[in-house]
Chains A and B, each alone.
Chain A
Amino acid sequence: MEIIRLMPRFLEGLQLTIGLWAIVLVLSIPLAFPVAFIRSSKNKLVAGATKFYIDIMRGTPLLLQMCFIFFGLPEIGIVFERFTTAVVAFVINYTAYFAEIFRSGLKSIDKGQWEAGQMLGISKPVLFFKVILPQTIRTVIPAVTNEVTTLVKDTSLVYILGLGDLLRQGKIYANSLSSLAPFVVVGVLYFIVITVISKGCEKIEKSFNY
């Protein structure tokens, strides 16, 4: 009964989890495309700088990156509020991962597709949006699905900033009730959310059935 009484608290935590997840996706996926292009640029300086950024993001823990932004940046006068810190850290981190997925997707498109477009006199932007991008999206959906579901679970790292996400709510009530039941509720909620997201991604993948 106690668990049912606490349900609104869990749902508050879930709201923060899903809100952060959605904001990060909406920002990082569109950002990742230009990053993937710059990373593939023939200009060695910009390509190298982008590779360095991606290496740092992949080579250090997200938790550490968040601590750096929240506790380190104020030293040089840059202060973010807690939730903004989480958004900034996640967006910078996930953009790097998505960019690498998109880069591999773009590379997997046969160069004959670009050449066919060139022979037909189709402009590069038209060819990209009508031909290359749809094929790239289809190729990267499974890898993107992985990242998108991992992101749901990664949002639990915001406990370090004192934000009340789903897992933190579970931990608080597990302590106060001296019971594992809140963790079970949290686990079930995560599982439901991730299952719904996975099904959605599967549907998108099937819609590219040509």
Chain B
Amino acid sequence: MLKVTNLYKSFGEQTVLNDISFELASGEIMCLRGKSGAGKTTLIRCICNLDKADSGTISINDIESLENGKPNKAYQNTVGMVSQGLDLFPNLNVMDNITLAPVSRKLMTKEEAEKNAQALLDSLEIGDKAKSYPSRLSGGEKQRVAVARACILSPSVLFFDEPTSALDIKATREVANLIEDIASRGISVVIITHDESFCDMLGARQIVIESGKIAN
């Protein structure tokens, strides 16, 4: 499944990732914990090909993240991300947010994409929000839309960057349920968080990053 081997990354003089290696099984939930600035976000940005590691390899189902030094498209299809800011497209309604990628990439017809999107929204209990714009949604609803947008492309691994920052206990519990639901569909989930109790709530394997190194 996901395999990260000897990953290094520096910004100028500062080494942000220092020999990171780990593996993740299919359908497994894993938490990446660590203080701010420890290198958690840089690590998943490298895994998602948003940043380029200085050295080391990353693969999912034996497909390498890079091909001749450039992002590998076949690999890119296997990763999805729900970023901290969620980054929904504010000018598109929920349905268009979700269907833009599969339709513009000709992976599905518009009808197929809308049918799949509606099924996803229904399963996430926001089926009635398809025509709403992101600005009209609550924080939790926005997060579900971001999940649906990533899931419609059937990724093998889904990354969450700080999904519970600024959430109360009840909302945090809902996010945990959501993540367990995603994992039960066979999607591996990696969560960046500084919230230890959230990791305990999920009963997930934890990797602690300190100064760019795995500390546990």
Q: Which residues of A contact B (CB under 8 A)?
A: 110, 112-113, 115-116, 118-123, 126, 130-131, 134-135, 138, 208, 210
Contact = CB atoms under 8 A, between A and B. Distances in A.
Nearest to B85: A112
Nearest to A210: B133
22 contacts: A110-B85, A112-B83, A113-B87, A115-B83, A119-B50, A120-B100, A120-B101, A120-B150, A120-B153, A121-B73, A121-B105, A121-B153, A122-B101, A126-B100, A130-B89, A130-B92, A130-B100, A131-B89, A131-B91, A131-B100, A134-B91, A135-B91
B85 A119 contact: no
A134 B100 CA distance: 15
Given A134-B91, A210-B90, A210-B91, A122 B83 contact: no
Size bin of chain B's contact surface:
20 to 34
Contacts of B90: 135, 210
A122 B100 contact: yes
Interface of B: 48-50, 73, 76-77, 79-81, 83, 85, 87-92, 100-101, 104-105, 133, 135, 149-150, 153
A79 B175 CA distance: 70
A121 B150 CA distance: 11
Nearest to B91: A134
B119 to A, nearest CB: 18
A122 B105 contact: yes
Contacts of B88: 116
Contacts of B85: 110, 112
Nearest to B98: A120
A118 B50 contact: yes
A112 B89 CA distance: 10
Contacts of B73: 121
A115 B133 CA distance: 20
